[in-house]
A = this chain, B = another copy of it.
């Protein structure tokens, strides 16, 4: 039996691969693990059956035999721990790769999401233009630090890892804003991640959901 993940039946990103199921799809593709997908509507996400697996009513979830898991970071880590290819074997390098996963999710992503949410929900507010430079500056500060650390390397710490997978998908969330363009090192890093065959298979799989939904 393959593991089953959940994804949006109608993703608000219209097939751009910015929803978090892409992260789990990519991880599964990197390790060569086939998977099944159960698509959920927004109403289903907030219903008791889904909330029993995901207390915050979101996607993705991951179910495999007796295990039902939520939180993208935990799901990707679970996959990375059980298959070779996403974490180094050497203990210190493994711990550092996991640190980059947490850095992507708890240091980089919050100001990126805050900037994105303001653009979606407060664009028509009288304060939007006044607050935007502050929000952009918070994002640029993090991007500069990340760019400084990456330097001329291909990946954040040695070989490609689950930390890079998570970071590239977090950086992709900036695409609607154009903010990444000021950091060419990171533009190249993100492109390097997206050039991986496993990424492309994951992207195509989520895009096919959008195409099917549009045709329906």
Contacts and interface: CB of A to CB of B under 8 A. Distances in A.
A57 B102 CA distance: 15
Number of copies of this chain that the complex holds: 2
A173 interface: no
Interface residues of A, number: 46
A78 B105 contact: no
18 contacts: A51-B148, A55-B146, A56-B103, A58-B107, A67-B91, A67-B92, A69-B95, A70-B103, A71-B100, A71-B102, A74-B95, A74-B102, A102-B105, A105-B105, A106-B106, A109-B110, A125-B127, A125-B130
A159 to B, nearest CB: 18
B131 A102 contact: no
A103 B71 contact: yes
Interface string A34-66: 000000000000000001000111100000001
A153 interface: no
A9 to B, nearest CB: 21
A106 B103 contact: no
A78 B92 CA distance: 10
B102 A149 contact: no
A77 B105 contact: no
A149 to B, nearest CB: 4
A5 interface: no
A3 interface: no
A92 B102 CA distance: 21
Contact of A57 (B77, B95, B145): B145
Contact of A66 (B78, B92, B105, B114): B92
A96 interface: yes
A101 B77 CA distance: 12
Given A110-B113, A127-B131, A99 B69 contact: yes
Interface string A92-127: 100110111111011101100110000001100111
